[in-house]
């Protein structure tokens, strides 16, 4: 029976994957920092939880004992001034994990990434799995550095390196979608006017693809995870707001959105709260992205449950 370590297991996507895998016949090691996992995950005899701090390598040893595969989600989001902490939390901390993975002879490491690391991509010119992109946002720049660290690590060890470059994940229970619903409810949801093409994937299809990346043999390299839909961010938000029965988002000047982001960040800095919007989020959000999913469909997920988000309208409520 394989043993899987999920970092960031108390977070949104890490928690969803843990729940998806809890009855799948694997042992789970769930790595947390400050938050705890949900109670139902503690009741399963095949699940162990570990408190650790990625900034302190020595705290990782217990969680890595007999681990075959690591799925790395851990990171900080929704905090002001991400350009100050992401170069540390996304790269230095990840390198700490790699060093300990080498000591414990982990067989495969899966990094959850996104297509923005290649910069602007489109349906006509999709992301192909390159490491030579020049992204503009700090979120994408530092995630690209993580990918480079991972594939350099693969060359030094016998570990299989996997990057899942995931498009926007959607359904109820995804933080970004739930936040959009809250803003839409109070007629506060806004979006810039310039069309931004996005690649989507339903939560269940993301989880199934990730599960196959964990359990299947011969998986390594970069996989773009996305469905067959072709839509802009503006169309997506307009449509899901209608699903919810709310007014469509305001289409507003970019300067106004950046001003709102700066207010959120200021409030976050003063009161120590989360910042649901940052200026770097806006930067990364404005970049069109679309990935070539050929490898995903051939090796990870031949059949999608939802080919596009309009087929999945019931998952938003």
> Is pLDDT above 80 for 82?
no
The pLDDT of residue 30 is above 80: yes
- 55 falls within a domain: yes
* Domain assignment present for 147: yes
* In contact, 59 and 52? CB cutoff 8 Å: yes
> Residue 7's domain spans which residues?
3-170+199-228+289-306
CB 247 within 8 A of CB 241: yes
Q: Which of 222, 233, 172 shows the shortest CA–CA distance to 200?
A: 233
Q: Does residue 108 sit within a domain?
A: yes
- The answer to whether residue 157 is domain-embedded is yes
Share of the chain above pLDDT 90, in %: 76
Averaged pLDDT, 243-259: 93
**Residue 277 confidence (pLDDT) above 80:** no
Where is pLDDT greater, at 282 or 191? 191
Contacts 24+ apart (CB under 8 A), 24-28: 24/211, 24/215, 25/1, 26/1, 26/2, 26/214, 26/215, 27/1, 27/2, 27/3, 28/3, 28/4
Instruction: For residue 240, give Cα distances in angstroms to 28, 121, 185, 188.
Output: 34, 24, 12, 15
pLDDT at residue 17 in the model: 97
Question: What angle, 0 to 180 degrees and rounded to 10, lies between the N-to-C axes of helices 203-215 and 12-21?
Answer: 60
Nearest to 229 by CA among 287, 298, 176, 306: 306
CATH number where 203 lies: 3.40.50.720
| Stretch 305-313: mean pLDDT | 96
Query: Does residue 104 lie within any of the structural domains?
Result: yes
Q: In the predicted model, is pLDDT for residue 280 greater than 90?
A: no
pLDDT of amino acid 76: 62
Find how far residue 27's CA is from the centre of its chain.
22
Residues 171, 202 contacting (CB under 8 angstroms): yes
What is the pLDDT at residue 78?
A: 64
Residue 120 predicted with pLDDT over 70: yes
Task: Tally the domains of the chain.
Answer: 1
Tell me: the pLDDT tens digits for 150-162? 999 999 998 999 9
Q: What's the CA gap between 178 and 184, in Å, rounded?
A: 10
117 and 163 Cβ atoms separated by less than 8 Å: no
Q: Is residue 187 part of a domain?
A: no
**What angle (nearest 5°) sits at the alpha carbon of residue 182, between those of residues 251 and 167?**
70
How far, CA to CA in Å, does 126 sit from each of 50, 76, 118, 264, 287? 39, 28, 9, 33, 13
């Amino acid at each position: 029976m394989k043993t899987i370590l999920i970092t960031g297991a108390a977070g949104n996507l890490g928690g969803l994957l843990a729940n998806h895998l809890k009855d799948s016949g694997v042992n789970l090691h769930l790595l947390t920092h400050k938050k705890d996992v949900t109670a139902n995950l503690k009741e399963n005899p095949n699940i162990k939880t570990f408190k650790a701090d990625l900034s302190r390598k020595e705290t990782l040893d217990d969680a890595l004992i007999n681990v075959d595969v690591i799925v790395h989600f851990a990171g900080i989001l929704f905090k002001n001034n991400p350009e100050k902490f992401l170069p540390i939390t996304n790269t230095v901390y990840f390198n700490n994990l790699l060093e300990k993975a080498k000591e414990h002879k982990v067989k495969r490491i899966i990094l959850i990434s996104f297509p923005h690391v290649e910069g602007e991509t489109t349906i006509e010119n999709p992301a192909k799995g390159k490491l030579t992109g020049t992204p503009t946002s700090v979120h994408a720049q530092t995630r690209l550095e993580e990918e480079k660290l991972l594939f350099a690590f693969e060359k030094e060890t016998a570990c299989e390196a996997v990057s899942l470059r995931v498009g926007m994940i959607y359904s109820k229970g995804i933080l970004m979608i739930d936040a959009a619903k809250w803003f839409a409810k109070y007629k506060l949801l806004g979006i810039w006017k310039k069309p931004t093409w996005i690649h989507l994937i339903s939560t269940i299809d993301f989880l199934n693809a990730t599960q196959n990346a964990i359990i299947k043999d011969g998986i390594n390299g970069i996989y773009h995870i996305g469905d067959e839909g072709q839509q802009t961010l503006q169309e997506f938000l307009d449509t899901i707001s209608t699903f919810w029965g709310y007014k469509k988002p305001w289409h507003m000047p970019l300067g106004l959105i950046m001003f709102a982001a700066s207010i959120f960040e200021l409030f976050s800095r003063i009161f120590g709260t989360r910042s649901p919007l940052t200026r770097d989020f806006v930067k990364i959000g404005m970049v069109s992205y679309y990935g070539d999913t050929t490898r995903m469909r051939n090796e990870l997920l031949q059949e999608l449950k939802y080919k596009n988000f309009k087929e999945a309208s019931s998952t938003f409520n």
